[in-house]
Amino acid sequence: MTIGDQPIPGCPVIIPVIKGLVKTIGSQGSAEGQYSYPWSVAINKDRDIVTADRDNNRLQITSREGKFKKILEFKQFEKPFKPCDIAISSDNTYYSLDDNNKQVVVSDENGHVIRCFGQNELEKPRGIGISPVDGNVYVTYWGGHCVRVYTQHGKYLRSFGSEGKGQGKFSFPCGVVISSTGMVFVADSDNHCIQVFNADDQYLYSFDCKSGDGKMRCPGGIAIENDKYIYVTTVINKSVLKFESSGKFVCRIDSDSDRLDRPTGIALTDNVPCRVVVADTYNDCIKVFVQ
With a CB cutoff of 8 Å and minimum separation 6, the contacts of 232 are 175, 187, 194, 216, 219, 220, 221, 222, 240, 241, 242, 243, 266
166 part of a folded domain: yes
For residue 184, pLDDT over 50 is answered with: yes
Q: What is the DSSP letter of 281?
A: G
pLDDT tens digits, one per residue of 84-143: 999 999 999 999 999 999 999 999 999 999 999 998 788 889 999 999 999 999 999 988
Distance separating alpha carbons of residues 154 and 256, to the nearest angstrom: 42
Distance separating alpha carbons of residues 175 and 221, to the nearest angstrom: 5
Residue 12 pLDDT:
62
99 part of a folded domain: yes
HSE-CB of 113 using CA atoms within 13 angstroms: 14
Residue 158 pLDDT:
96
Distance separating alpha carbons of residues 13 and 42, to the nearest angstrom: 38
For residue 175, pLDDT over 50 is answered with: yes
Task: Give how far Cα 213 sits from Cα of 203, 239, 262, Å.
Answer: 27, 9, 16
3-state helix, strand, coil in the chain (%, to 5): 5, 50, 45
Structurally, the chain folds into a number of domains equal to 1
190 part of a folded domain: yes
Residue 104 pLDDT:
97
Find the domain containing 199 and state its range: 30-290
Residue 210 pLDDT level (bands cut at 50, 70, 90): confident
Q: What is the share, in percent, of the chain residues with pLDDT greater than 70?
A: 94
5 part of a folded domain: no
18 part of a folded domain: no
24 part of a folded domain: no
Any idea of the CA torsion for 262, 24, 95, 163, to the nearest 10 degrees?
-20
End-to-end CA distance of the chain: 27
Residue 236 pLDDT:
93
pLDDT tens digits, one per residue of 74-86: 999 999 999 999 9
Whether the Cβ atoms of residue 83 and residue 100 lie closer than 8 Å to each other: no
Distance separating alpha carbons of residues 189 and 208, to the nearest angstrom: 11
Residue 248 pLDDT level (bands cut at 50, 70, 90): very high
Could you please report the per-residue DSSP string of 154-181?
--EEEEE-EESSSTTEESSEEEEEE-TT
pLDDT tens digits, one per residue of 1-54: 555 455 666 666 555 556 799 999 999 999 999 999 999 999 999 999 999 999
209 part of a folded domain: yes
Q: What is the mean pLDDT of the chain?
A: 93
Domain CATH code at residue 218: 2.120.10.30
At 141, the amino acid letter reads Y
pTM of the model: 0.92
Residue 4 pLDDT:
47
Q: How many CB atoms lie within 10 A of CB 123?
A: 11
188 part of a folded domain: yes
pLDDT tens digits, one per residue of 148-161: 999 999 999 999 99
